[in-house]
Amino acid sequence: MSCEACEEEVNHQVNKLPGIVESETSYENKNAVIQFDTSRTTIQKIIEAVNATGYKVVNHSIKN
């Protein structure tokens, strides 16, 4: 992510998904921390939403 506009765009696309509790994207840290309801969406759906913005999810980890 190269600027705050990209940050906003990633957040916006992720937030369109059902079950997103909180999405915090940081271009400075080059990451996004997303809290979501696992009964309503999946990590795969989130990755697809991010990839649809033109950015690629290079890796992800899950914290319960």
Residue ranges that bind Cu ion, judged by CB under 5 A: 2-3, 5-6
**Least distance to Cu ion from the beta carbon of 53, Å?**
10
Burial level of 29, CB count in 10 A (0-12/13-18/19+)? exposed
**Least distance to Cu ion from the beta carbon of 37, Å?**
29
Judged by beta carbon, residue 4 or residue 37, the one nearer Cu ion is 4
Measure the CA–CA gap between 45 and 49, rounded to whole angstroms: 6
Locate 47 and state its tokens. 């990755």
Q: Which residues does residue 22 pair with via DSSP β-bridges, in sequence order?
A: 35
**Least distance to Cu ion from the beta carbon of 28, Å?**
12
Q: Which residue is nearest to Cu ion (CB)?
A: 3
